[in-house]
Amino acid sequence: MRFAFTDDQLAFRDAVRDLLTRECPPGVVRAAWSNADGRSGGAWKALGEMGALGVMVAEEHGGLGLTELDAVLLAEEAGRAALPDPFVEHTLAGAPLVATEEAASGAVTVTAASGRDLVPWADSADVLVVGGVVVERGTAAVDPRPAVDGARRLAAVEVAGAPPLRTLDPTERDLTADRLALGYAAQLVGLAARMLDTTVAYVSERRQFGVPIGSFQALKHHLADSRIALEFAAPLVYRAAYSLAHRDPDAPVHVSMAKAQASDAAELVARHALQCHGAIGYSDEHDLHMWMKRAWALAAAGGDASWHRERVARAIL
């Protein structure tokens, strides 16, 4: 028994964190709100060059041939940076199915969606995994919709007339949905951790009544609750990654536990973060709203907390 990541996995995570600190500062997220495709540009390219986008693509197709367990911490970093790119949709879900060198390097962007989800970044991706088929974007009908998170573009996609590059079997479909849910859960943990860090820093600086507002017990307790929520969400996410990587028959239930808990945790942390910031957090000139809106989007994507709780209920009751 050892419930911890290997040094290699942690080193890969640190490298991705460093890269995103450089290539995806808040200014890049903000720019994606108003640029043409809602993407980072540079960060995506750099992630591709370091191999992060092909972690789960088989080695013979130019990937690293690793598993969900190696990808989960990278997804968490993508969340922490609020990376405006389909990192999870591509790296955990789409690229392993497309399995080409171009997908492994990110030269071709694959996006994916499950259930009734709108498809993220569908209008800028090259390949779409939607409704059990893999199609070229150009062959599908892509209908962009206004999204709350301006740096996570959404579109309704119709694949009825598109010639499938591939049709997923039911097992692949389920696995893809679980990988998306896992990836979103990991991103939510990263987003929440970042919102908590930012808020701790803010309340330690900001002064009212002659003292830092972080010395007020009401705010301390909001932030303590945020920290507790994270502490008891992250382990479920890591366990789900392990179970998927080992093809554990309970993996779908483990994914649901992770997604339910991470969604709730991120929503809670976002609420407390906003409250602790006061009006400045409510302003779109401050960065917090970009993290908060990503958290809302991902909490609802890939099955929301209730959907996943229901799946747990079906398994245990």
Partner 1 sequence: MDLTWSPAEEAFRVEVRAWLEANVPAEPLPSGDTREGFARHLEWERRLFDARWSVVSWPEAYGGREASLWEWLIFEEEYYRAGAPQRVTQNGIFLLAPTLFEFGTPAQQDRFLRPMASGEETWCQGWSEPDAGSDLAGISSRAVRDDEAGGWRLRGQKTWTTRGAFCTHLFGLFRTDPEAQRHRGLTYFLVPLDTPGVTVRGFGRLDGDEGFAEVFFDDAFVPDEMVLGGVGEGWSVAMATTGSERGLTLRSPGRFLATAERLAALYAERGAGASDPGLRHAVAQARIDAEAYALQTLSTVTRIAEGERPGAESSLTKVFWSELDVRLHDTARRLLGPDSALDGPWTKGWQFALSGPIYAGTNEIQRNVIAERVLGLPRK
Per CB under 8 A, residues contacting partner 1 are 1-6, 69, 196, 200, 203-204, 211-212, 214-215, 217, 219-221, 223-225, 227-228, 231-233, 235-236, 238-239, 242, 257, 260-261, 306, 309-310, 312-313, 316-317
Burial 87-121 (b: 16+ CB within 10 A, else e): bbbbbbbbbbbbbbebbbbbebbbbbbbeebbbbb
User: Phi, psi (5° rounding) for residue 181?
Assistant: -60, -40
d(CA 168, CA 289): 37
Q: Smallest distance from the beta carbon of 107 to partner 1, in angstroms?
A: 31
Orientation of helix 251-277 relative to helix 288-300, angle to 10°:
150
Q: Which is nearer to partner 1, 2 or 247 (CB)?
A: 2
Q: Which is nearer to partner 1, 160 or 317 (CB)?
A: 317
Pull the structure tokens for residue 179: 């990988």
**Three-class secondary structure assignment of 300-314:** HCCCCHHHHHHHHHH
Pull the structure tokens for residue 276: 């602790």
Q: Which is nearer to partner 1, 239 or 294 (CB)?
A: 239
Burial 182-213 (b: 16+ CB within 10 A, else e): bbbbbbbbbbbbbbbebbbebbeeeeeeeeeb
- What 3-state DSSP class applies to 233? coil
- Identity of the residue numbered 104: A
Q: Smallest distance from the beta carbon of 251 to partner 1, in angstroms?
A: 12
Q: Which is nearer to partner 1, 284 or 310 (CB)?
A: 310
Among residues 311, 293, 284, the alpha carbon closest in space to that of 188 is found at 293
Q: Tokens 């943990």 label which residue?
A: 189
Q: Smallest distance from the beta carbon of 77 to partner 1, in angstroms?
A: 18
DSSP codes, 114-150: -TTPPEETTTT-SEEEETTEEEEGGGSEEEEE--SST
Q: Which is nearer to partner 1, 211 or 279 (CB)?
A: 211
Q: Which is nearer to partner 1, 29 or 233 (CB)?
A: 233
Q: Smallest distance from the beta carbon of 120 to partner 1, in angstroms?
A: 26
Orientation of helix 251-277 relative to helix 217-231, angle to 10°:
160
Query: How are beta strands 110-112 and 127-130 bridged, if at all?
Result: parallel
Q: Smallest distance from the beta carbon of 56 to partner 1, in angstroms?
A: 16
Q: Which is nearer to partner 1, 156 or 228 (CB)?
A: 228
Q: Smallest distance from the beta carbon of 73 to partner 1, in angstroms?
A: 11
Q: Smallest distance from the beta carbon of 16 to partner 1, in angstroms?
A: 18
Q: Smallest distance from the beta carbon of 116 to partner 1, in angstroms?
A: 20
Q: Which is nearer to partner 1, 173 or 227 (CB)?
A: 227
